[in-house]
Structure 1
Amino acid sequence: MTIYCDESGGLNAGAMTFAAVMLTPEAAADIHKRFRGVTGLRGELKGSRISVVERAYLLELFDRAGGRAWVAVAERDTLAKNADGTMPSDLALYGALLNSAVGHWLPETGGVCTDVVIDDGRYDPKILSHVRAEIQAGLGQWGRASLADSKRSDGVQIADVIANSLFNIAVKSPRAARIERIIEPMLASKAIRVAEQTRVP
């Protein structure tokens, strides 16, 4: 299995979410093929660019394929401040959310070799290489952590849509109520699970 990772939002937007999605590469490719064939989508699949109906269809395909996700969520209003009274930095929060989302998966992999693929678009490559190294240390001999251009990764693009869905709900966007109804069955079945982040270690 592969864990695909992507984030959405930021503290300046009211919340940051980080999705760690478990799918085989073949399942991710099949979801994209079907979704693009039906919707006619060209280019990169982004949660911020698709309609609510398209989102519902993609998440239905994800659920049917047996996809599962852990999503770490931090809301600005409930996030503890640093000791000096400042808010955690964007990078520090990103790292904490990534560690939480991926960390929730590792005990469930049962020792099966797992690859973790992280979107490389948010920060400088040098910074992300340190993030990748930390995840690799956690995986040890059981898998490999790598960075990927989201435009070339079906799984990372699916993770983007899931992270964006939880971001919309966290900030109570105009689409939040409809998105919440879409993912409600997946939350109930634990196909999607949420870990709330209230402090940055």
Structure 2
Amino acid sequence: MTIYCDESGGVGAGVIVVAAISLPGTMADELLTRIRDVIGLRGELKGSRITMAERAFVIELLARTGARTIVVQALTRDLAAAAASGKPPSDLAIYAHLLEHVVDAWLPETGGCVELVIDDGRYDARLNSMVRDDVQRALGQWGKASLADSRRSAGVQFADVLANSFFQMATGSDRAPRLETLMAPFLENGAIRHLTIKAIN
């Protein structure tokens, strides 16, 4: 099973969100081609660049094809409140912890054979490699962690749309009420699981 991960937000934004999506077989590329044809997309599919109607089309299409997603988020105010120092951990520490939590949440459902594909655009090459190695340690013998350029990975682009959607919900953007309405049935039927981390030990 291949799981694609992307993130949205940061310590400065008050929340970091990681979305990890699995699609049946090799469907990611086929779906992205379909979306490009329908909405006239040129370039990378990014949650920050599409309209609400286009976002709804993407989410509904993913759900129709059996995609499943785990979204993990952490609010920096919660992490600061739980820390002895009264300050949140670093952006890197939070991001790495969220990815580890993704591994913990997904592994029981994968049958012990998983490839976790992580967007390589958040940090520089050295830090991205550190994150990948940390995730590989979390996976152990049960899978492989790799980095991917989101421009060349349809699955990572879908993860971006989901991460951006939950980021907007967490930060109370103007789109938040409509996004909550959009996501509600998929949260209810389990196609999307939404987890919030309150502390990092």
Q: Aligning the two structures, in what range does the TM-score lie when normalised by the shorter sequence?
A: over 0.9
Residue identity in the other structure for 1:18: V
| Amino acid in structure 1 at the alignment position of 2:123 | Y
2:13 is aligned with 1:13: yes
TM-score between the two structures when normalised by the length of structure 2: 0.94
Q: Which residue of 2 aligns with 1:126?
A: 126
**What residue number does 1:38 align with?**
38
**What's the offset of the Cα at 1:25?**
5.6
CA distance in 2, matches of 1:138, 1:12: 27
Matched, 1:181 2:186: no
2:198 aligns to what? 198
Give the 3-state SS of the residue equivalent to 1:79 in structure 2.
Answer: helix
Distance 2:103 2:50 in 1: 26
Q: What code does the residue aligned with 2:15 have?
A: A
State the Cα distance separating 1:63 from its structure 2 match. Answer: 0.4
Instruction: Report how far residue 79 of structure 1 moved.
Output: 2.5
Partner Cα distance (2:166, 2:103) in 1: 16
Q: What's the offset of the Cα at 1:23?
A: 1.7
| Alpha carbons 2:2, 2:116 under 8 Å: kept | yes
How far off its partner does 1:143 sit? 2.2
1:71/1:163 contact within 8 Å kept: yes
C-alpha distance in structure 1 between counterparts of 2:136 and 2:14, whole Å: 30
List structure 1 runs of 4+ shifted beyond 6 angstroms: none
- Matching of residues 17-166 of structure 1 within 5 Å: 17-24=17-24, 26-81=26-81, 82-111=83-112, 113-166=113-166
2:168 maps to 1:168: yes
Write the distance in 2 (CA, Å) between the matches of 1:107 and 1:11: 30
Aligned amino acid, residue 93 of structure 2: A
Q: Deviation string for 1:61-84 (max 9, x for gaps)? A: 110111011111112332334322
- 8 Å CA contact 1:80, 1:198 repeated in 2: no
More divergent stretch after superposition (32-41 vs 21-30): 21-30
Please list every run of 5 or more consecutive structure 1 residues that lacks an aligned counterpart in the other structure: none
Length, aligned pairs only? 200
Q: C-alpha offsets along residues 39-61 of structure 1, whole Å, 9 cap, x if unaligned?
A: 00010111011011000000011
Distance 2:115 2:49 in 1: 28
- The amino acid across from 1:33 in the alignment is T
SS in 2 for 1:80: helix
| Structure-2 separation of matches of 1:86 and 1:130 | 23
Amino acid in the other structure paired with 2:117: V
For residues 168 and 69 of structure 1, the distance between their equivalents in structure 2, rounded to whole angstroms, comes to: 17
Percent identity over paired residues: 54
- Partner-residue secondary structure (3-state), 2:101: helix
Task: Summarize the Cα distance change of 1:138–1:78 in structure 2 as closer, same or farther, 3 Å threshold.
Answer: closer
